[in-house]
Amino acid sequence: MTIFMAIEADRLRLAQLLSPAFPIGAFAHSQGLEAAISAGLVTDEASLRDWIEGAILHGSGRMDAIFLTLARAPGADLPALADLARAYMPSLGRAREAEELGRAFGAQMAAITGQESPLLPLPLAIGLATRGLEVGDGEVLALWLQGLAAQLVSVAVRFMPLGQSAGQRLISGLAPLIVQAAADYARLGLDDLGSCTIGADIASMTQETLEVRIFRS
């Protein structure tokens, strides 16, 4: 296999691991978006775009991207990063999401590779799994953030409701923002950790108290 073919194979592996079809159960989580829709904070395509942009630029997308990048570094202290990632979680629901999806991701990787993976929050588990791929951090983060956008759009399609075509139009329109954010986050480190999405954090806490809900977080 030529070097070019090996790199392309790694890109295919990356697309597989970060595909919404990779069976870890991400479809069951809304990161509080269900509560925001229920409260009338997100009502249409425009307000949904604002919500997703906030997550990518100032909230869970930014934080998880930094942790993912840190975990890809050779020699990264994964147990310490896991403790720090858990400490930064703004709600019980978000913490459970990261742990449950991280556990499911590790189980899938073990089934694929035949090697057991440590139990890590999802961004760190993905960082570890992609560490050996000949793919740059920016490319990994772009697919990661694209997956987050697709996850949240899927929530809206099922619950607002939002039409399928409107959802795909929204994801397509976010591409320039995602590419730029991925490039920016690939250069960040521990000193850059921090978020400011108070409304989304409150929504993720409110999600835990909904009497009737579709999503786990």
How many alpha carbons fall within 13 Å on the CB side of residue 89?
23
Helix axes of 164-173 and 45-58: crossing angle, nearest 10 degrees = 40
Specify whether the CB–CB gap between 85 and 67 falls below 8 A. Answer: yes
Give residue 60's pLDDT band: very low, low, confident or very high (50, 70, 90).
very high
What number is the average pLDDT over the span 60-66? 98
Residue 1: the pLDDT is 61
- Per-residue pLDDT of 178-203, as tens digits, reads 999 999 999 999 999 999 999 999 99
**Residue 177 CB burial class (10 angstroms; 0-12, 13-18, ≥19):** middle
Work out the end-to-end distance of the chain between its first and last CA atoms, rounded to an integer number of angstroms: 44
Q: Over pLDDT 70: what percentage of the chain?
A: 99
Task: Look at residue 104 and tell me whether its pLDDT is greater than 90.
Answer: yes
Mean pLDDT for the chain overall: 95
Rg (CA), the chain: 17
Give residue 17's pLDDT band: very low, low, confident or very high (50, 70, 90).
very high
- Per-residue pLDDT of 21-33, as tens digits, reads 899 999 999 999 9
What number is the average pLDDT over the span 69-96? 97
Amino acid making up residue 211: E
- Per-residue pLDDT of 114-164, as tens digits, reads 999 899 999 999 999 999 999 999 999 999 999 999 999 999 999 998 999
- Per-residue pLDDT of 207-217, as tens digits, reads 989 888 899 89
**Residue 75 CB burial class (10 angstroms; 0-12, 13-18, ≥19):** exposed
What number is the average pLDDT over the span 74-90? 97
Domains in the chain (CATH in brackets) are: 26-207 (1.10.4190.10)
Specify whether the CB–CB gap between 57 and 197 falls below 8 A. Answer: no
Q: Which two tokens mark 122?
A: 């999802």
Task: Look at residue 57 and tell me whether its pLDDT is greater than 90.
Answer: yes
pTM (two decimals):
0.96
Please name the residue that has the structure tokens 């989580």: 29
